[in-house]
Structure 1
Amino acid sequence: MSKRLRSSEVCADCSAQDPCWASINRGILICDECCSVHRSLGRHISQVRHLKHTPWPPTLLQMVETLYNNGANSIWEHSLLDPASVMSGRRKASPQDKVHPNKAEFIRAKYQMLAFVHRLPCREDDSVTAKDLSKQLHSSVRTGNLETCLRLLSLGAQANFFHPEKGNTPLHVAAKAGQTLQAELLAVYGADPGTQDSNGKTPVDYARQGGHHELAERLVEIQYELTDRLAFYLCGRKPEHKNGQHFVIPQMADSLDLSELAKAAKKKLQSLSNHLFEELAMDVYDEVDRRETDAVWLATQNHSTLVTETTVVPFLPVNPEYSSTRNQGRQKLARFNAHEFATLVIDILSDAKRRQQGNPLAGSKENVELILKSISNQHSSESQDNDQPDYDSVASDEDTDLETNAAKSNRQKSLDSDLSDGPVTAQEYMQVKNALVASEVKIQQLMKVNINLSDELRIMQKKASKLEKQSSMSESDYDNPTTPLELEETGSGRKGRQRSVIWQGEGSIPEDTDTAPSSSLPSTEDVIRKTEQITKNIQELLRAAQENKHDSYIPCSERIHVAVTEMAALFPKKPKSELVRTSLRLLTSSAYRLQSECKKTLPVETCPTTDIQLVTQQVIQCAYDIAKAAKQLVTITTKENNN
């Protein structure tokens, strides 16, 4: 690492001294705490790498250093540099701020919502704007001005743009001009070194033709980066591309004694279309990155000072641009033990080599999800590791059709660590899970669209709290700011006057001293039916948000509240299970908060301080919390009723 990077550097997000991590695609340096938030966003948002404990291609590190030293951070904080932003109350995070919610909210706004980047004037045809930006990028990469190119990429310029008049891509131009750092930046944003121009030449060809031999060698490395990374993960070696060796295929000690399941999984992998195979390989690459970064993270952290929840990224975060089935497969990769994962990596390396050499196999419609199951079930006789991190699995459309009885039995053992993925026979359950995941993806997409102005949001909430006549705060099990709820109290106790109908907006389960705690739960089928109704109404609300139909918020929220009340009424007044009580509290308080937020969309003369974008964001968050709570109740009742 250069001397310039070792001294007086500060975190791009909170200005803490001596940042140890870099976000490659953002061209910035970040501290440990901010890095934990970047990791939780996923590699599609931020690609992090430790400055000292992770191997760096020299020119890639030089590219990040150049961007950082030339003010790349100002791209992501453009509007914050405007003096008017100080007057409006907007500010960046500081080293003293808590990771949650302060730093996390700021980082999500900055990189996920792109809340502070310079926005071009709105035009009717966005594709024309993207084309213009891409043409500018095509011209700019022949120079050494990296920051200009990063700005264009941040605005939507395409790294793989094929210029219709010039007949080539920006990477062809950079390679011909010998612009190594521009080539690194373009590659980070997805530029393909193997793309041919109108003359049938690749960027590698132009680099060699221009005498830029080191650049040519680096472009070849970039071309094989995926398979090189997988091989290095398993055996610590990379191929000698200079000598024409492009693949290293590690061998495991028991690889010659493959089980029938292993052979079947390998055959299914080979029968995938090239498109599906590439998707699976990219997902495995992301999982390798997650595991390697985890190892560096654990080796470098002061665990006595960092909050545990900021350090854990137990599975690949959901990418809203991917299908629910693909997101499920990505999440399941985290549950593979070392042997299973190594088997999958070796199979991918072997088949990548076969495909590149053009050895054909008969086509098939095999699904990636089925292949992952086959590999993870190779060791079905081994005990399941219940220490695996908890996470919400994404339901596959093929679960009920493709799982064998043996696999279901195997999965039963791990119910405690993965409630939502248990062997449920009801087809409706799978449909509900799919619908909930679809809602979750829509929520994330909408949150990307809506600008997150967290500081202004907190100011709004404080004003709203003063306006409302509330007398107490409801406890909840999630991190969002809590809205004061209508709980009536008398004297110094919390008994108060209970309403005759429970869960009519109080936001918590009434304490009924005359009722003994009950361990009985409703049937799974009843809970599923109510969850379906909630999900249907949530999706209707999300569609309204996506289409800016703000006048539909209130009727949608009322229908959701009715469905939530009906679902809550299925459960005993005083559930014995703390998990049930917590989920019901989240369900009902979120429904009440949703109604409260939706009322802010009334005509401006009624609510003159309303910022509709902020309201929409809160509405989306409430809808997500309701969906999450409903899903929790489905999984709890399913597990208990199956026992």
Structure 2
Amino acid sequence: MSKRLRSSEVCADCSAQDPCWASINRGILICDECCSVHRSLGRHISQVRHLKHTPWPPTLLQMVETLYNNGANSIWEHSLLDPASVMSGRRKASPQDKVHPNKAEFIRAKYQMLAFVHRLPCREDDSVTAKDLSKQLHSSVRTGNLETCLRLLSLGAQANFFHPEKGNTPLHVAAKAGQTLQAELLAVYGADPGTQDSNGKTPVDYARQGGHHELAERLVEIQYELTDRLAFYLCGRKPEHKNGQHFVIPQMADSSLDLSELAKAAKKKLQSLSNHLFEELAMDVYDEVDRRETDAVWLATQNHSTLVTETTVVPFLPVNPEYSSTRNQGRQKLARFNAHEFATLVIDILSDAKRRQQGNPLAGSKENVELILKSISNQHSSESQDNDQPDYDSVASDEDTDLETNAAKSNRQKSLDSDLSDGPVTAQEYMQVKNALVASEVKIQQLMKVNINLSDELRIMQKKASKLEKQSSMSESDYDNPTTPLELEETGSGRKGRQRSVIWQGEGSIPEDTDTAPSSSLPSTEDVIRKTEQITKNIQELLRAAQENKHDSYIPCSERIHVAVTEMAALFPKKPKSELVRTSLRLLTSSAYRLQSECKKTLPVETCPTTDIQLVTQQVIQCAYDIAKAAKQLVTITTKENNN
């Protein structure tokens, strides 16, 4: 942030000092606590980004600074500035207020319900009002008055409005006038840089004609923002658009292997989607990338003691009432993908986006990145029965969406520019595609055995002897050192009585121990919190190492986390009576085990020549998040049980 902001900036929602997050589409700065509420609302309400620990396009940051300095917050709190609001008892939140319910209720009213925004006089025909507002926006974007345009957008002006007399959109006007910040604001609210005017020219064309070359380059970046963000998430690189390179397609280490029949069918179905449905799927994956990256920044920047509060967890994409219930449920299931599965889905989308834009024919079966959607229906079924909290948010039905607020239609419509007209696929066929991808756990394990990376298998075999020796010297625990699928095969029938059902994420059934009776006793809440703080402190060290690209620190950090996890698991009985406790312990210890395995992939390149360090880092972050999530679940459970 610029120096002129540092002395006086306060949170727009509670006036706390030194806010370190921004809501891009609202043009405001917010503190940690208020940001936790914004994150739970979803990107269609508030697009949050950390001011220091997230990469910013310079002109986008400048746009937020300008709006903040020019009182954009007064747009969202218009009626609160009226003296009559004091008399009615309505007030904004304060730094001392509790997050729940005080700050949360205020923030939801302010941005989700738009309770304090200035209302226009009611008219019989709302479409006329929207058209008038859009025409005003069309005229205003040629000036530098950003807050005026934000106010018009907040009232319902359309960023992609095509002026019938002028024959162009507001973004054409802003580009021609060289108004870079106006272009940024319009793009945040869904303006498409690829739209042609009545003369067949795009905003990029007008920016170049006017000599606004930096603006033209930025508009091209915005045009490819979706695919750029997905590529950067996996490999830390973006295409060189100046040189005509518009796509970067990362490769998986096991990309040379043939796909199973199920994976081939899934990839073929993805390719057969209509452009409209493919764009919807790509936008959903973009939102999930944003959620995961924001979670990683959140874990790295928070005080470790805040992990045990309710302000830290956004476990899946929040409901967007403008989408169907089916789409919302599919979006939420994206959170169930582990790092490897999600990476393969991202690469598939990048590959097909490039094919669609360039008009290439369907890819052959050897162009392989496996698309695996883990079975959700059977997983965690016992957890959902014991847990008072549902696995997913309640999803609005199609009939209910008209009753929801249409506030801030701010999801940026990412352009995938496609001239290729694929065969039409109905919504019903699309859902059949999704359902076909939801394979049973047995089929998933079979796919994994077929596609397992041969170099990984070799390393496991080489280390097997030392690992078994280490395990035999340690005291046996039901939760420590979960067995991998490969080890289950190699150990044979001698351990069938003790085998646990192992799933890719290490989540299976706890082995039955006939010598130990189930126990309902739980450790004290204080002990669990103390161990949780120890775990999260170590996780913070690991995430800092990831941010600073100190890959040689991964292994020692993961070992410290594993020790802390083992100590925490030891607090609980060997065979807990509660299935929810068993599930949380399983997630905790198996994630710590997976974390160690992923961190070992950062060994010198001659040992692991196929390692993609960026992909490993994403997997490490996901494992750390899973550990933190499980630790918080255990704190919540013990607190609840011990208070009863």
Q: TM-score range by the shorter chain?
A: 0.5 to 0.7
SS in 2 for 1:216: helix
2:477/2:574 contact within 8 Å kept: no
The Cα of 1:328 is off from its aligned counterpart by 1.1
Q: Deviations over 1:132-176 (max 9, x none)?
A: 000000000000000000000000000000000000000000000
- Cα 1:600–1:104, aligned 2, differ >3 Å: closer, same or farther? farther
SS in 2 for 1:517: coil
- Cα 1:513–1:332, aligned 2, differ >3 Å: closer, same or farther? closer
Aligned to 2:476: 475
The 10-residue stretch of structure 1 (503-512 or 73-82) with the greater mean CA deviation from structure 2:
503-512
The 10-residue stretch of structure 1 (488-497 or 388-397) with the greater mean CA deviation from structure 2:
488-497
2:359/2:420 contact within 8 Å kept: no
SS in 2 for 1:306: helix
The Cα of 1:96 is off from its aligned counterpart by 0.2
The Cα of 1:46 is off from its aligned counterpart by 0.1
1:486/1:506 contact within 8 Å kept: no
Misfit runs of 4+, over 4 Å: 360-389, 392-643
SS in 2 for 1:330: helix
2:384/2:390 contact within 8 Å kept: no
Aligned to 2:205: 205
The CA distance in 2 between the partners of 1:119 and 1:613, in whole Å, is 48
Unaligned runs of at least 5 residues, structure 2: none
2:112/2:405 contact within 8 Å kept: no
- Cα 1:104–1:350, aligned 2, differ >3 Å: closer, same or farther? same
The Cα of 1:264 is off from its aligned counterpart by 1.8
The 10-residue stretch of structure 1 (110-119 or 524-533) with the greater mean CA deviation from structure 2:
524-533
The CA distance in 2 between the partners of 1:493 and 1:362, in whole Å, is 46
2:445/2:504 contact within 8 Å kept: no
Q: Deviations over 1:431-470 (max 9, x none)?
A: 9999999999999999999999999999999999999999
2:178/2:210 contact within 8 Å kept: yes
2:308/2:632 contact within 8 Å kept: no
The CA distance in 2 between the partners of 1:43 and 1:280, in whole Å, is 16
The Cα of 1:323 is off from its aligned counterpart by 0.7
Aligned to 2:139: 139
The Cα of 1:545 is off from its aligned counterpart by 50
The CA distance in 2 between the partners of 1:108 and 1:51, in whole Å, is 22
The 10-residue stretch of structure 1 (268-277 or 568-577) with the greater mean CA deviation from structure 2:
568-577
- Cα 1:449–1:545, aligned 2, differ >3 Å: closer, same or farther? farther
The Cα of 1:297 is off from its aligned counterpart by 0.2
1:77/1:117 contact within 8 Å kept: yes
The CA distance in 2 between the partners of 1:549 and 1:442, in whole Å, is 38
The Cα of 1:100 is off from its aligned counterpart by 0.2
- Cα 1:87–1:636, aligned 2, differ >3 Å: closer, same or farther? closer
SS in 2 for 1:49: strand
The CA distance in 2 between the partners of 1:110 and 1:183, in whole Å, is 25
The CA distance in 2 between the partners of 1:102 and 1:517, in whole Å, is 41
The Cα of 1:261 is off from its aligned counterpart by 2.6
- Cα 1:79–1:177, aligned 2, differ >3 Å: closer, same or farther? same
1:113/1:448 contact within 8 Å kept: no
The CA distance in 1 between the partners of 2:484 and 2:87, in whole Å, is 26
The CA distance in 1 between the partners of 2:249 and 2:612, in whole Å, is 57
1:137/1:170 contact within 8 Å kept: yes
- Cα 1:461–1:196, aligned 2, differ >3 Å: closer, same or farther? farther
1:42/1:319 contact within 8 Å kept: yes
1:544/1:553 contact within 8 Å kept: yes
- Cα 1:93–1:591, aligned 2, differ >3 Å: closer, same or farther? farther
Q: Deviations over 1:165-211 (max 9, x none)?
A: 00000000000000000000000000000000000000000000000
The Cα of 1:578 is off from its aligned counterpart by 12
- Cα 1:575–1:354, aligned 2, differ >3 Å: closer, same or farther? closer
The Cα of 1:303 is off from its aligned counterpart by 2.8
The 10-residue stretch of structure 1 (604-613 or 509-518) with the greater mean CA deviation from structure 2:
604-613
Q: Deviations over 1:535-561 (max 9, x none)?
A: 999999999999999999999999999
- Cα 1:388–1:96, aligned 2, differ >3 Å: closer, same or farther? closer
- Cα 1:534–1:406, aligned 2, differ >3 Å: closer, same or farther? farther
The CA distance in 2 between the partners of 1:82 and 1:479, in whole Å, is 61
The 10-residue stretch of structure 1 (263-272 or 557-566) with the greater mean CA deviation from structure 2:
557-566
1:450/1:617 contact within 8 Å kept: no
2:45/2:409 contact within 8 Å kept: no
1:207/1:216 contact within 8 Å kept: yes
- Cα 1:640–1:601, aligned 2, differ >3 Å: closer, same or farther? same
1:212-231 matches, cutoff 5 A: 212-231=212-231
TM-score by length of 1: 0.60
- Cα 1:177–1:105, aligned 2, differ >3 Å: closer, same or farther? same
The 10-residue stretch of structure 1 (405-414 or 338-347) with the greater mean CA deviation from structure 2:
405-414
Unaligned runs of at least 5 residues, structure 1: none
- Cα 1:539–1:327, aligned 2, differ >3 Å: closer, same or farther? farther
Count of paired positions: 643
The Cα of 1:265 is off from its aligned counterpart by 1.5
The CA distance in 1 between the partners of 2:56 and 2:527, in whole Å, is 55
Q: Deviations over 1:3-55 (max 9, x none)?
A: 12322210000000000000000000000000000000000000000000000
The Cα of 1:324 is off from its aligned counterpart by 1.1
Aligned to 2:571: 570
TM-score by length of 2: 0.60
User: Identity, % of aligned pairs?
Assistant: 100
The Cα of 1:421 is off from its aligned counterpart by 33
